[in-house]
Amino acid sequence: MMNKSRYFIIAFSFFAWLACNRVSNTNEEVKADKKPNILIAISDDMSWVDMSFMGNEAVSTPNIDALAKEGMVFENAYCSTPSCTASRAAFLTGRNGFELEQGAVLWGYLPDKFKTYTDYLEEAGYKVGFTGKGWAPGKLHATNRKHNPAGEEFNDSKFLPFVELGNEGSICDIDYIANFKTFLKGKKQDQPFCFWYGSKEPHRGYVRGIGEKAGMQTSKVKLPDFYPQDEGMRLDVLDYLFEIQWFDTQIGKIVNHLKEIGEYDNTLIIVTADNGMPFPRAKSNLYEAGTHMPFIAVWKNKIIPGKSISDLISQIDVAPTVMQAAGLEIPKEMTGKTLMPYFEKATNQVAAKNRSIITYRERHAWSYADGKTYPSRAIRKGDMLLIWNMEPQRLPAGIEDGSVAFNNYAFGDVDNGLSKDILMSYKNREGQSHFFDLSFGLRSEYELYNVKEDPFQLKNLAAEAAFQEQFQNLNNELVNYLKSHNDMRVLGKEEVYINTPYYSTKGIESGGIDPNAFEKLSAEEQQKLQDAERQKLKKNKHKIDSLFGMGASYWGI
């Protein structure tokens, strides 16, 4: 017969094991039910090829490269529009930018009736915030939003890097990682978070020659075929790539901190950019250099590492993806398609077979004498890209008279910089003036390219007999899509875009509104003043309300 003490020991051991097993199971259940964190790392003006894992030997991006190995690379991701404000609005709402009314243009506002994925996550209990550049540039006072659409702002921590290399602010003074840590300190224990690291790099301006000073080599820079093989342009591109390296460094710091606090495995990370590089024929253009985006998704134990997806996707797919990842219902208003099937199956053509991607352009900068714009629409399907330039009689980058532009410089839709100056100097060069024309000259109403065979979009196939069937099919599909998705311009309501106030740094001939005086007014007084400005502009036959200085930022466009 077993003695009492031995019986007690066995019984105690059994119940202890049972209790421990129950606790273990409970912890697993809690872990399984835990909402994932969301981290968006979005650079400001960066094309898809400009990372070392993509084969660009002139730049070093070890942290992004590591994420590409640990996650999934989408080789053919596109922004909705190659213009900061509207691109970010589309990203956050999961809708084509042209569906967002006043949110479709640069330096406007995003009506609060268009909810963002951050709105939904915040309602579901997420801590939501951003550092750097969130939704911008634009003005929040025109809406009832309590904070930036990207979340609560965390930009108080500052320091100025690379002073020894001549930086005086071109590379901004925001301490991204310090602000991320401040954000995390403000959340409740076990509260999931959604954070937007909005790098202000590699936006212009650049410290001239900083890339070379840092040891980078212009000999490794490969210029696209729509540029002349000019050493000055290589130098300018090198400075751009240097700022991408800074973006990469900050990503490394943020990821390492996630690992230190044990949140990396439970965080869906997306690395991308808002539009293409700030160079002629790239940013604000519907060519590949303007709309084709870097896109990496990482989620430990959810995404099979090291996979590349060649399907066409859009950044408007991010919002529904985040919603589904967080266990929330995807709103029917979101036009984008969730990427979760790709994460789960890690193969091509699981979400939409033979999908078409629609991009567009409305107002970018203030670049024409009377506030006109260069509206365009495009469809990418398979290897083909069709661009519809709706006002082909206008110059695509703005007029050459710089006195009317927001930046007092010719062709205002192109960011000022060394490359722009060099290309403008090619205007009358014998045998080389086509380099000027490619960036600043008139374009055909329709442009059709085989992107695979013509990666720099130099041979327009739209008028060739052999491509007429493809042209007509793509054009019909594009127009039908635009109509069915409430494109105001196609529906004859383009005034919604044209009359959106232009909250930028320069007024027009009819005068502007002093920003300091404006901010002191009540919301009702502000509205009355804006209405008065609109009437004044109409009398002067101006179509856009250019309000001096409101929401102005060095990092503006």
Q: How do residues 417-463 score in pLDDT, each as one tens digit? A: 999 999 999 999 999 999 999 999 999 999 999 999 999 999 999 99
Domain that holds residue 530: 501-557
Q: Name which residue leads in pLDDT, 9 or 264.
A: 264
Domain-embedded: residue 28: no
Q: How confident is the model at residue 529 (pLDDT cuts 50, 70, 90)?
A: low
Handedness of CA 284, 287, 291, 294 (dihedral sign): negative
User: Percent of the chain scored above 70 by pLDDT?
Assistant: 84
Phi first, then psi: give them for residue 392, nearest 5 degrees: -65, -10
Do 398 and 545 fall within a single domain?
A: no
Domain final position from 482, 499, 516? 499
Domain final position from 474, 499, 524? 499
**Tokens 């808002």 -> residue:** 274
Q: Quote the pLDDT of residue 351.
A: 65
Are 197 and 150 in contact by the 8 Å Cβ rule? The answer is no
Q: How do residues 306-349 score in pLDDT, each as one tens digit? A: 999 999 999 999 999 999 999 999 999 999 999 999 999 878 87
Q: Quote the pLDDT of residue 349.
A: 74
Q: Quote the pLDDT of residue 549.
A: 30
Do 433 and 470 fall within a single domain?
A: yes
Q: How do residues 469-513 score in pLDDT, each as one tens digit? A: 999 999 999 999 999 999 999 999 998 898 887 777 543 332 334
Domain-embedded: residue 508: yes
Can you read off the two tokens belonging to residue 138?
Answer: 């634009």
Q: How confident is the model at residue 535 (pLDDT cuts 50, 70, 90)?
A: low
Q: How confident is the model at residue 396 (pLDDT cuts 50, 70, 90)?
A: very high
Are 213 and 165 in contact by the 8 Å Cβ rule? The answer is yes
CA distances from 324 to 36, 284, 319, 331 (A): 11, 31, 9, 10
Q: Quote the pLDDT of residue 472.
A: 98
Domain-embedded: residue 381: yes
Do 415 and 311 fall within a single domain?
A: no
Do 494 and 519 fall within a single domain?
A: no
Do 238 and 249 fall within a single domain?
A: yes
Q: Quote the pLDDT of residue 521.
A: 66
Are 198 and 131 in contact by the 8 Å Cβ rule? The answer is yes
3-state secondary structure of 28: helix
Question: What's the one-letter identity of residue 335?
Answer: T
Which DSSP helix (H) or strand (E) runs through 22? helix 4-33
Do 446 and 475 fall within a single domain?
A: yes
Tell me the C-alpha distance between 240 and 30, whole Å. Answer: 45
Q: Which of 444, 434, 50 is nearest to 248 (CA)?
A: 50
Can you read off the two tokens belonging to residue 296?
Answer: 């990496």
Are 556 and 107 in contact by the 8 Å Cβ rule? The answer is yes
By DSSP bridging, strand 307-314 and strand 193-198 are unpaired
Q: How confident is the model at residue 241 (pLDDT cuts 50, 70, 90)?
A: very high
Q: What is the mean pLDDT of residues 46-60?
A: 97
Q: Is the predicted pLDDT of residue 21 greater than 60, yes or no? A: no
Do 480 and 505 fall within a single domain?
A: no
DSSP 371-423: S----EEEEEETTEEEEEES-TTS-TT--S-GGGSTTSSSSTTS--SHHHHHH
Domain-embedded: residue 167: yes
**In DSSP terms, which residues pair with 361 in a beta bridge?**
376
Do 295 and 202 fall within a single domain?
A: yes
Do 459 and 540 fall within a single domain?
A: no
CA distances from 461 to 385, 464, 476, 486 (A): 10, 5, 17, 29
Torsion angle of the four alpha carbons 483, 393, 281, 198, in this order, in degrees rounded to the nearest 10: -50
Q: What is the mean pLDDT of residues 31-60?
A: 93
Q: Quote the pLDDT of residue 357.
A: 98
Q: Can you list the positions of beta strands (E) in 6-151?
A: 37-43, 72-78, 127-132
Q: Quote the pLDDT of residue 517.
A: 54
Q: Which of 118, 114, 113, 154 is nearest to 133 (CA)?
A: 154
Domain-embedded: residue 461: yes
Q: How do residues 196-225 score in pLDDT, each as one tens digit? A: 999 999 999 999 999 999 999 999 999 999
Do 385 and 429 fall within a single domain?
A: yes
Domain count, the chain: 3
Tell whether omega for the bond before 62 is within 30 degrees of 0, i.e. cis. no
* Whole-prediction pTM: 0.87
Domain-embedded: residue 11: no
Do 138 and 193 fall within a single domain?
A: yes
Q: Can you list the positions of beta strands (E) in 219-275?
A: 267-273
Domain-embedded: residue 472: yes
Q: How do residues 107-155 score in pLDDT, each as one tens digit? A: 889 999 999 999 999 999 999 999 999 999 988 866 789 999 999 999 9
List, in sequence order, the alpha helices (H) in 71-109.
Answer: 84-93
Do 465 and 510 fall within a single domain?
A: no
Domain final position from 499, 519, 549? 499
Within a 10 A sphere around the Cβ of 1, how many other Cβ atoms?
4
CA distances from 279 to 275, 283, 346 (A): 11, 6, 34
Q: What is the mean pLDDT of the chain?
A: 88
Are 100 and 90 in contact by the 8 Å Cβ rule? The answer is yes
Domain-embedded: residue 444: yes
